[in-house]
Amino acid sequence: MKSDGSGGLPFVGIERVVAAPLFGESPPGGWSSEIRPNDSIHTLIAVHTDAGIVGFGSVFAEGELVRAAVRHLERFYLGENALEPQRVSEKLHQNSFWFGRGGTLTHTISGIDIALWDVLGKVTGLPLCLLLGGRHREKVMPYCSLLMDEPVKMAEEIAYYRDKGFKAFKIGWGPFGRVDDPKLDEAIVAAAAGQLPTGGRLFVDAGASDAYWPNGLKWAMRTADMLADHDVGWFEEPLIPDALEDFVTLRKSARIPISGGEVMTRRQSFLPFLVQGAFDIVQPDVTKVGGISEQMRIARAAQDFGVRYVGHGWNTALGLAADLQIAAALPNVDLVEYIVGSAYLDELTAEPYTLDADGMLDIPTAPGLGITPDPRQIERFSPEAAALFLTEAAS
């Protein structure tokens, strides 16, 4: 680490950014145009520095798109100080307005931002939660995120993961709301609720950001009533993402909390939904929204509006690591999303995530994100895995 030459402040220069798409075991998403195992939907990011320190991040986007975005952004991040994640990320946002604000460029900046925070944590020797404001908790409850299925199979899945120690569950997408059968929707929810552990929690995600979502406000209002009868904890994405006025109407009428925001990016997109009272729970995704820097801004703004924050986390082990650090740094965060059955979450790190006897996850205390990506594991899923870890000298 060296001085920046202007008053002796520490400087760790960004030498390059590497993008490594993951292939081979992409989990199904329940989408109308389903994800195939060899589709690239998650891309890992590594920020290499002149101090030999590498930070890691994760992007929800197809690998070729992320690589193109990394190249496009290169002139704005090369030579920048990796110890200034918020400033550098904002520079990337400010200089990409005309070429993809809210799309692949913003998703890619998310991964770079996460990796820059990881570098800062490693240089300072601190877990990110301390750099983000403090450590409100040592553990947090993961909710088991599952696709919906027909009732018998749904009950079997809930029971299976209940027996593995999960206490909270979110079910969504699949046939729910897509086959014009309210009785089937209710049967699926009832089957899942019947398999919860004592004190267990159930959440429902309609997934109305799916292509050509067929339902509107009246469907959402009727369905919210049905979910309230089954003590569902929140109704997620019940309307198409841009239906702001309908979200406001639904939130006022529904007997259960309404949540959403996973497809929105940058803090500016969330402001109308917070100001007009569209959500009870806001759910930005750290691998899409602009990274840790934006996620923290949105979560704190939500707190000022009396809106609860629960990060959306349909991503990788590195995305979950970021979610855990954010959950520690904020008050009143009691849940993180955990996609079960995904190799990209369970098999990318030296030490896998494990539940304790109470169904909780420890929040890592090691520097940065607090986890160690495993090169041998990652190379099973990415031909570019080695480039994530090679230093400039070795490459």
Domain boundaries, the chain: 2-125+375-389, 130-362
Query: What Å distances lie between residue 304 and 160, 215, 298, 308, 334, CA to CA?
Result: 39, 32, 10, 10, 18
pLDDT attached to residue 130: 98
Enter the tokens of residue 326.
């954010």
Is CATH 3.40.50.1820 the right assignment for the domain spanning 130-362?
no
What digits encode the pLDDT tens for the residues 182-223? 999 999 999 999 999 999 999 999 999 999 999 999 999 999
pLDDT attached to residue 7: 62
Which residues in the chain show pLDDT less than 70?
3-7, 391-395
| CATH code for residues 2-125+375-389 | 3.30.390.10
Backbone angles phi, psi at 111, to 5 degrees: -65, -40
pLDDT attached to residue 4: 65
Helices 244-253, 217-229: crossing angle, 10 deg rounding: 30
pLDDT attached to residue 32: 86
pLDDT attached to residue 338: 97
What digits encode the pLDDT tens for the residues 301-339? 999 999 999 999 998 999 999 999 999 999 999 999 999
CB 241 within 8 A of CB 263: yes
pLDDT attached to residue 99: 81
pLDDT attached to residue 395: 40
pLDDT attached to residue 100: 77
pLDDT attached to residue 293: 98
Chain Cα centroid distance, residue 342: 14
Question: What is the secondary structure of 326-346 as a DSSP string?
Answer: HHHHSTT--EEEEETT-HHHH
Cite the beta strand spans of the chain per DSSP E.
Answer: 2-3, 10-11, 14-21, 42-49, 54-60, 139-147, 168-172, 201-205, 235-236, 258-260, 281-282, 308-309, 335-339, 361-362
C-alpha span between 247 and 238 (Å, rounded):
8
Q: Give residues with Cβ within 8 angstroms of 188, minimum separation 6.
A: 148, 149, 150, 151, 154, 171, 175, 176
C-alpha span between 394 and 209 (Å, rounded):
44
Q: Which of 283, 243, 249 is nearest to 263 (CA)?
A: 283
Helices 266-275, 292-304: crossing angle, 10 deg rounding: 10
